[in-house]
Amino acid sequence: MKTPFNKEKVYIGITPTSWWNDDFLDIDIGIPFEQCVSEMALAGYEGCSVGHKYPKDPEVLKYALDIRGLRVSEPWTSTYFTIKDMYDKTVEDFNKSLEFIKSMGGTDIVVAELGGSSHQQPIALKANKAVFNDEQWQALADGLNHIGKIATDNGMNLCYHHHMGTGVMTRPEVDRLMEMTNPAFVHLLFDTGHIRFAGGDPLEMAMDYAHRIKHVHLKNIRQPIMNQSDEQGMSFKESIEEGIFTVPGDEEGCIDFEPIFETLAENNFEGWLVVEAEQNPANAYPLKYAKMGREYIRKVTGI
């Protein structure tokens, strides 16, 4: 890389979605929490996001991660600001996540608006994605600005995750959300795979939003399976089971990560780069792919 990352301020993490799936609990071959986090550490990662098999007690979880040299990169919080009578519950759930990540010593909280999302349903993913009206867009922006200020006041980063099947999936939808929210309170979680699956260009997004990106999910795409998903109107689960996602460094993937890393480094990115590849562990051995992604990042970035 012509422009290196600041090694003291960029951290490499991974999600547990290679070991099991948190949206679809039947995508699971029985790998326990302890094996998952041990393999993360063995593969050379510094941290991880939180999965449904993790201990709920922060002290128990922190100990299990500490002895493996890991820490929490982020918790996920679903928001429902576009759904009637869900504002208070959404803020309440967010505050719980805030207290959790503070207790774990983390700084980033990942959120995504799931009102009306198709991604957890057994239906065509793109054809049935959420579409917000103007009132819902305003409710979402207002809600995110509110909880984003709470996060900022507590020294945390609210990182919005654009996601397949949701009302903030495509590049124009990401643009609209960024325009409507306060950049001081609402940051962008940039997911390379989700924007590619949605028809966007990951490199263009990195270039255009480098100033708002505080958190990155590194997800690769198998182009033939993405084409199949689009042509057959597959659900999100079906797409995962067919193998649409993989890790950076996999020759079967279609995303060129080197210019993306270069763009982020040139814009002084600081924070978590998190490998996320929802794969079926019955078909894609988790440790193999975890090591593949980690070794590729080390080779390209020197971190």
3-state secondary structure of 182: coil
Nearest to 110 by CA among 216, 20, 198, 218: 216
Question: So what's the pLDDT on residue 64?
Answer: 98
**Whether pLDDT at 1 is above 80:** no
Question: So what's the pLDDT on residue 72?
Answer: 97
Categorize the per-residue pLDDT at 5 as very low, low, confident or very high, splitting at 50, 70 and 90: very high
Categorize the per-residue pLDDT at 185 as very low, low, confident or very high, splitting at 50, 70 and 90: very high
Angle among Cα 234, 242, 74 to the nearest 5 degrees reads 90
Q: State pTM to two decimals.
A: 0.96
CATH number of 10-301: 3.20.20.150
Average pLDDT for residues 49-69, to the nearest whole number? 96
Question: So what's the pLDDT on residue 192?
Answer: 99
Q: Strands (DSSP E) along the chain, which ranges?
A: 10-14, 47-49, 71-74, 76-79, 108-113, 157-161, 186-191, 213-218, 220-221, 245-246, 271-275
Categorize the per-residue pLDDT at 3 as very low, low, confident or very high, splitting at 50, 70 and 90: confident
* Residue ranges covered by each domain of the chain: 10-301
Written as six digits, the tokens of 126 are 């793109």
3-state secondary structure of 54: coil
Rounded to whole angstroms, the Cα distance separating 58 from 217 reads 24
The rounded radius of gyration (Å) of the Cα atoms in the chain is 18
